[in-house]
Amino acid sequence: MKHIHLLYSILIISMLSACNMKMDQQQHELQEPIGPSDAVLSSKIMTPEVLWSFGRIGETTLSPDGETLLFNVTYYSVEQNKGNTELYTVNTDGSDSKRITHTSFGEYNPRWRPDGQKIGFLSNESGSMQLWEMHPDGTGRVQITNVEGGLTGFDYAPDQSKILYTAEVKLKPSTADIYPDLPLASGRINNDLMYRHWDQWVDTYSHVFVADYDGTAIQNAKDIMLDEPWETPLRPFGGMEQITWSPDSKTVVYACRKKTGKAYALSTNSDLYQYDLESGKTKNLTEGMMGYDLAAVFSHDGSKMVWESMERDGYEADKVRLYILDFETGEKKDLTAAFDQDAHGLAWSKSDDKIYFTSDWHAVDQIYSYTLADGKIHKLTEGVHDYTSVMVADNGLIGTRMSMSSPVEVFSIDETTGQQDQITFINKPILDQLEMGRVEERWIKTTDNKEMLTWIIYPPGFDPSKKYPTLLYCQGGPQSTVSQFWSYRWNFQMMAANGYIIVAPNRRGLPGFGKEWLEQISGDYGGQNMRDYLSAIDFMAKEPFVDETRLGAVGASYGGFSVYWLAGHHQKRFKAFIAHDGMFNLEAQYLETEEMWFVNWDLGGPYWDTENKTVQWSYANSPHKFVQYWDTPIMVVHGELDYRIVASQGMQAFNAAVLRGIPAEYLYFPDENHWVLKPQNGILWQRRFYNWLDTWLKAN
């Protein structure tokens, strides 16, 4: 669950392409290319269909001369029930924006060739995901690789003499391999943990290959991870940001957790490994550093390397530190030791004297810089938005930015003045037709006399003289921020458009408010963070425009757990609940989930550890122990492919409600994971979500 926090800054950018690559491989025959819609909306109000018509900007990269931005955009067809991803370019001053591909196969992982003469990308055009190249204007499309099974990512060596790519390799025998006379047997033989992860069974491992490249084809491909059961990028969300070339093209650095089975399931200790192409030797650059070490970035002169580092093994929401290695001295140093925030998406200045990154503070993500000469950190942007990445162009900085009122677009940033100018307008035709609800920042006092930032989102055309049904939004993670994110499912403007006021608290356990606030939640499920939720809704219920007789609570993942817990403790506050993919029975959850480090850290350990007070507190607060107090209609949603919180958790909650005589609905998706990714399923989700809320908060 907390992976959503750990990799949030790259998820928005990379997950769209990763999900669509997977969908393209499964069903790549479209009737026609999918592109932007020019439909005129029948209403100024957001609908599920409108939400799915937005173009979703994914990976972005700058040309070698720093003047042109290459990026992909995914559009979805509800009728075809899938998406298609196309490539675009735009100058960094916002001029000459154009779409350069028009295919039904999708283009992913876009990269400028180091000489700037070609663009490389992955496409399923030949039946499997392979590397293709074309001119920057989209002409001269040529296939470069023909790797059996296809590629999952690639990158050019800086000197253009080689290409590295990632591909899935099979490193353990299948049932059919062991018993050739049973080719149709479907049984899986498992002898250790981590046999499945997120939404897939672990039958293969992602490895890094390096091949010679002559400008037209590759040859002499070599698996630099040998025949070992390691993976890079790390499952389930890692991308090519976890693998990088050194500037001299002589070494490759990759992130890897070199553990298997039970050890893998119990540890977050990934390291950065440097592979020397000439000697074939691999060196652990972060040996002895026990948490996640990810996303290495070399300085331009190759003398230094920075990366994102966590300190503690087993704690996946630990502070993300900006770490630096000096290759000449061997010294490693935490550059953000005195900075009580995370550092994501690292980028060097052209002169190697600064490091840029994004960081969340008070529920907005801004761009920051660290100056090596004096060790000072400066915030470079202001505003109610989230920056999800930062790049260095010739004429300033480039960042991808979103808010609760706008999906991701690309902006240029003047580091000196802080001026931010939008340079892509992918969704302007739709946004210009929509009326958005006002987003307001409130600071609400908690039961322990702290101040808690809470976002209030009002319906479009809000009239303070009227009374509105109101929803308490419960965040997942549990340690993922309620920042200015734009979601294609839990979309606050979508909720507000249906006539609801949304109360979204940054309760205990969320980043952006210091380490103490973040870490309080571990071992305290059902504790202070739940009181924070009640503080927020009780405060807003006193407003004259809030109908305190029509309150609902909704949430997913840890938010789903929160809804289940509140259902047994809310003391008649709420009239309707919706829980998506939530933990209901914590004892079952401990033995059903795949990443054991999560439950060990957050719950304190296994429920049979009767001597551990934290453990006993955690399991005593399991929602299933309070079903006897349930008295409010509840809707439960779950996906069969969710291996983080398995579908039986939702079934238990739904069955309990029915057996208790409580109105309930169970929306089950056999083909979705922890999220809902398919267009028609997404629209079904929205329709049933609001049908349930309208039934219990508007009809009565």
For 666-691, the pLDDT digits (tens) are 999 999 999 999 999 999 999 999 99
Residue among 24, 293, 313, 642 flagged as catalytic: 642
Average pLDDT over residues 114-121: 98
In a domain, 296, yes or no: no
Single residue among 151, 173, 201 that ends a domain in this structure: 151
Query: What stretch of H or E contains 82?
Result: strand 82-91
Which pair of tokens denotes residue 183? Answer: 């080719």
pLDDT of residue 690: 98
pLDDT of residue 29: 46
Q: Give yes or no for residue 14 having a pLDDT over 80.
A: no
* pLDDT at res. 98: 96
* CA dihedral over 606, 607, 608, 614, signed as positive or negative: positive
The answer to whether residue 95 sits within a structural domain is: yes
* Rounded Cα distance, 324 and 518, in Å: 25
Contacts of 494 (CB under 8 A, 6+ apart): 46, 48, 51, 686
Render the burial of 545-554: b for 16+ CB within 10 Å, e for the rest.
ebbeebbbbb
Does the structure show a pLDDT above 80 at 33? no
Confidence (pLDDT) at 3: 44
The domain containing residue 86 runs over which residues?
A: 1-151
Q: Is the pLDDT confidence value at 467 over 50?
A: yes
Instruction: Evaluate whether residue 210 is within a structural domain.
Output: no
Q: What is the pLDDT of residue 41?
A: 83
Question: Is 352 inside a domain boundary?
Answer: no
Strands of 405-545, DSSP E: 406-413, 420-422, 439-445, 451-457, 468-474, 501-505
- The chain-wide mean pLDDT, for the chain, equals 95
What's the Cα-to-Cα distance from 621 to each of 186, 207, 528, 546, 616, rounded to whole Å? 39, 42, 12, 30, 9
Q: Which of 151, 180, 211 is the last residue of a domain?
A: 151
Count: domains in the chain? 2
Asked whether residue 537 is assigned to any structural domain, the reply reads yes
Asked if the structure places residue 693 within a domain, the reply is yes
Sign of the C-alpha dihedral computed for residues 199, 201, 204 and 207 taken in this order: positive
Indicate if the pLDDT at residue 695 is higher than 50: yes
Confidence band for 20, pLDDT divided at 50, 70 and 90: low
Q: Is the pLDDT of residue 266 over 60?
A: yes
User: How much is the pLDDT for 37?
Assistant: 72
Region 498-508 average pLDDT: 98
Q: Mean per-residue pLDDT for 645-655? A: 98
Q: State whether the Cα torsion 160-162-164-165 is positive or negative.
A: positive
Q: Hey, which residues does 130 pair with through a beta bridge? A: 123
Q: What is the pLDDT of residue 31?
A: 52
Long-range contacts of 40-48 (CB under 8 A, 24+ apart): 40/433, 41/430, 41/433, 41/434, 44/433, 44/434, 44/435, 44/460, 45/434, 45/435, 45/460, 45/497, 46/434, 46/436, 46/491, 46/493, 46/494, 46/497, 47/497, 48/494, 48/682, 48/683, 48/686, 48/687
pLDDT band at 38 (very low <50, low <70, confident <90, very high): confident
What pLDDT, in 10s, does the model give residues 315-350? 999 999 999 999 999 999 999 999 999 999 999 999
pLDDT band at 42 (very low <50, low <70, confident <90, very high): confident
Q: Is the pLDDT of residue 382 over 90?
A: yes
Instruction: Give the whole-number percent of the chain exceeding pLDDT 70.
Output: 95
pLDDT band at 179 (very low <50, low <70, confident <90, very high): very high
Whether 624 sits among the annotated catalytic residues: the reply is no
What pLDDT digit, counting tens, does each position of 64-82 carry? 999 999 999 999 999 999 9
- What is the per-residue pLDDT for 21? 60
Strands annotated E in 349-426: 354-361, 364-371, 377-379, 386-393, 396-403, 406-413, 420-422
Q: pLDDT tens for residues 409-430?
A: 999 999 999 999 999 999 999 9
Residue 347 pairs in a beta bridge with 356
Residue 206 falls in the annotated catalytic set = no
- Where residue 602 sits, what CATH number does that domain have? 3.40.50.1820
Question: Does residue 180 belong to any structural domain of this protein?
Answer: no
Is 380 inside a domain boundary? no
Residue 411's pLDDT is 98
Q: What is the pLDDT of residue 275?
A: 98
Q: Residue 115 burial by CB count (10 A; 0-12/13-18/19+): exposed, middle or buried?
A: exposed
223 part of the active site: no
- From the list 176, 299, 182, the residue with the least C-alpha distance to 248 is 299
The string of pLDDT tens digits covering residues 208-264 is 999 999 999 999 999 999 999 999 999 999 999 999 999 999 999 999 999 999 999
The structure's pTM equals 0.96
C-beta of residue 127 within 8 angstroms of C-beta of residue 105: no
d(CA 485, CA 12): 9
Which of 557, 562, 618, 622 is an active site residue? Answer: 557
Among 122, 151, 180, residue at a domain's last position: 151
Share of the chain above pLDDT 90, in %: 93
308 contacts 328 by C-beta, under 8 angstroms: no
Cβ of 503: how many Cβ atoms within 10 Å?
Answer: 24
